[in-house]
Amino acid sequence: MAFSAFVASQVPSANVPLGALVVCFVAGGVVGTAVASTLEWDTLRDLGTVPVILVGSIEEPAKLLVPVAFFLAGRYVLTADGLLLGVAAGMGFAAFETMGYALTALLEADRIGSAERQLFQRSAAAPFGHPTWTALVCTVMWYERRRVGRMAPTPAVVAAFVIAVLLHAGWDAYVDEPVKQTVIGVLSASLLTICVLVARREPSGTGP
């Protein structure tokens, strides 16, 4: 929530009220994790494993379900609005996923210290993962709608989604390699910074 508030402070032109962000955070977390866990379980049952590229391909669309509902409603049309909704949904997903990992660690090790380590490690890394990847796709979606004047997938939206999936897959693949994971985190943070700059430069008075 603190990270979402920080990003919001960087784009004062956004029109999304706090209530909508809270809804996106909670609903995005609940719906996203429920859908992703169900699909990943089905994949695990069918294939016996879930390759990292499939994890990204499942979780990235799952996180977009609630932001896309806001997108289709068309009430919040600024690129900054899409950025904030993406961050909120991604952070909600990260929060609920982290709680799940912490609970699993507690049940498996039967020690509170294991759960605390999971909470600390995943919370510290969270801003460089889920919220950034979802924000990237949402920023491009909202920007492209205003640019072309209609709700339609464009090559830029598809490219942003593919980048998000690849970053997600790379993050999971290098979970035990801190240097490589740090590189992915820095790249993700750089893309989020670009999204913030694009959102700040957009005139707030132009419609879609």
25-66, pLDDT tens digit by residue? 999 999 999 998 899 888 877 777 778 889 899 999 999 999
Q: Has residue 146 been placed in a domain?
A: yes
Q: Has residue 207 been placed in a domain?
A: no
> pLDDT category, 202, cuts 50, 70, 90?
confident
Q: Has residue 44 been placed in a domain?
A: yes
Q: What is the pTM of this model?
A: 0.87
| Total domains, the chain | 1
pLDDT, position 102: 65
Residue 200's contacts (CB-CB under 8 Å, 6 or more residues apart) are: 10, 11, 13, 80
Q: Has residue 154 been placed in a domain?
A: yes
Q: What percentage of the chain reaches a pLDDT higher than 90?
A: 51
CB 24 within 8 A of CB 89: yes
pLDDT in tens, 154-177: 999 999 999 999 999 998 888 788
Q: Has residue 143 been placed in a domain?
A: yes
pLDDT, position 115: 60
Q: Has residue 11 been placed in a domain?
A: yes
pLDDT, position 162: 96
Q: Show the domain range for 184.
A: 2-201
Q: Which two tokens mark 87?
A: 């961050």
Can you tell me which residue has the tokens 């600390």? 120
Q: Has residue 208 been placed in a domain?
A: no
Residue 197's contacts (CB-CB under 8 Å, 6 or more residues apart) are: none
* Higher-confidence position of 176 and 74: 74
Q: Which two tokens mark 144?
A: 């492209």
CA distance 85 to 3: 13
